[in-house]
Structures are given as C-alpha cells and as structure tokens.
Amino acid sequence: MADAAALKRQAAEAAFADLEEGINLGIGTGSTAEAFIRVLGEHVRAGFKVAGVATSQRTDRLCRELGIPMRTLDELPILDVTVDGADEVDGKLRLIKGGGGALLREKIVAHASAKMIVIADETKRVETLGAFPLPIEVNGFGLTATFLSIRRIAETMGLSGEIILRKVGDDPFITDSGHLILDASFGRIPDPEAMSAALHAVPGIVEHGLFIGMCSEAVLAGPNGVERLK
Ligand code: 5RP
C-alpha cells in the first residue's frame, strides 16, 4: 500500500496538472500543501510561470526557498485558484480546516479565489464532519467568555465534548495574525451551516475552521488512484 507521503504527492501532482500557466495562485498550509509546493517548485524551476500568495508565513518561507515568485494578497487581491489541504471533507465539499493553525488566512485567501481545490489522501473523506476537532481562532481578550459561548452553542445543538486551548509545549499556540486557537472536539457536526452561523455571531471568535461553499473540487489520493469530488 502507498505510504501517506506518496499519496500526498500523488494528489499534489494531479492538482498541479489542471493548473494553467500565468495564474495567480493561493497556496495552502500543511503537509499536503507542502507536497504541492514542492511539485510547484520543480515546475517553476523548469520555467512554469505563476504568482503565488501564501496562506501562512510558513508556506511563504518554503515557497521563497524553492524559488516560487510570491506576492502579498494586497498586491494580488484577486486569485484564480487556491490549492490547499484539509482535515476533513464531506460529500458536499464542506471542510474542516485549521489543523495547522492557518485557518483564518486560508479562508481569506480561498474567499479571494475564483476556485478552491483541496488536495488530500482519501482518509480525509468523511460522511459527517466533526471527528476531527474543530479549530476556532479566537481573540485573547475574554477567552473564558468566548469559551463559554462555544460550549453553549454546542449544548443548544445537542453536542458535547472537550474544548481545549491549543498549546505548543506549555505556551499557547499563537496564529500568524496573533490570535489563539480553541480546538472543539464535538465528535460530529450534523448541521455545519447552523454551527458556522452560530459561531460567527460570537464577537470573540475571529474565524472558525468550517469551510462551507468554498471548495470547488477535492482531489483525493488513495491506493487505487486519484478520485475527484466536484
Ligand atoms: C492548516 C490546514 C491544513 O491544510 C490541514 O490541517 C491539513 O493538513 P495536512 O495536509 O498536514 O494533513 O488546514 O491550517
């Protein structure tokens, strides 16, 4: 059976094959996005023309190291395509993202793109979102009040589960935009639209990792090849 790294590379190559030269490209974050960046770097070195906008400082650094021409989103505010990974994708192309902590910039970049292509190995495909803890980017001010609001939302929807502050060692994880992340293990999110709307109504929540109506195509690699969900 193909190993995880090989599947990520396979999904990355399949997504790259659909890209046209000269596009303005949003570039995702995470290990699968990194496989894509390496594929893209090889093609750029062979002459492929592209302008990239990164979804995180980490992605920006790697792209520049590999010689991919990078711009800021303010320099290129309208993007043709974004290629990014995901933590979960369901049959309606709804996603959970943010396992790598970049969900806010990922969502801003995806929203600025005409098309979002998700690349993943087939284990990311789920029937119901929510087995992966939902990352919620929050302002540090009023953290406990925001935490309680999220718990109330979950209870109203008949959900329970731990909500924990993401840490790196003993310190809170800080996002590229200077916020914190709460990871909410609801187990299942049967109505992602309702959850998304309820979370957006909490002032302390900057953004959450439910991506709804944003993904145009998921390229999923498995031992039997690549499947495309549209
Ligand atoms: C980062 C993300 C990643 O795309 C997501 O966590 C998937 O990562 P990986 O490809 O490493 O499994 O949303 O914020």
- The ipTM assigned to this model is 0.99
Q: Are 21 and 228 in contact (CB under 8 A)?
A: no
Kindly give the parts of the chain with pLDDT less than 70. 1-2
Domain boundaries, the chain: 4-126+212-224, 134-208
- Ligand 1, atom 7, lies closest to the CA of 86
Active site residue 162: no
Sign of CA dihedral 21, 5, 64, 207: positive
- Cα–Cα distance for residue pair 39/138, rounded to 1 Å: 33
Q: Say how many C-beta atoms besides its own lie within 10 A of residue 183's C-beta.
A: 19
In the prediction, which pLDDT does 81 show?
98
Q: Which of 13, 88, 106, 137 is catalytic?
A: 106
130 is in an annotated binding site: no
- Is 30 known to sit in a ligand binding site? yes
Q: For the domain 4-126+212-224, what is the CATH code?
A: 3.40.50.1360
Amino acid at 181: I
What pLDDT is attached to residue 91?
97
**Any known ligand binding at 100?**
yes
| The pLDDT of residue 189 | 98
> For ligand 1, what atom is nearest to the CA of residue 103?
14
> Which is the closest atom of ligand 1 to the Cα of 102?
14
pLDDT for the residue numbered 31: 98
Q: Could you report the per-residue pLDDT of 21-68, keeping only the tens digit for each?
A: 999 999 999 999 999 999 999 999 999 999 999 999 999 999 999 999
Q: Which residues line ligand 1 (CB under 6 A)?
A: 28-33, 84-87, 97-103, 106
Q: 216 among the known binding-site residues?
A: no
Helix, strand, or coil (residue 88): strand
> pLDDT at position 101, please?
98
Strands 24-27, 79-84: pairing is: parallel
Atom of ligand 1 nearest to the CA of 85: 4
CA 123 to ligand 1 center in whole angstroms: 13
Q: Which protein residue has the closest C-alpha to ligand 1 atom 6?
A: 99
Over the stretch 189-206, which tens digit does the pLDDT of each residue have?
999 999 999 999 999 999
Distance 97 CA to ligand 1 centre (A): 6
* Distance of alpha carbon 103 from alpha carbon 110, whole angstroms: 10
What CATH number does domain 134-208 carry, 3.30.70.260, 3.50.50.60, 3.40.50.720, 3.40.50.280? Answer: 3.30.70.260
pTM: 0.97
Helix (H, G, I), strand (E, B) or coil at 144: helix
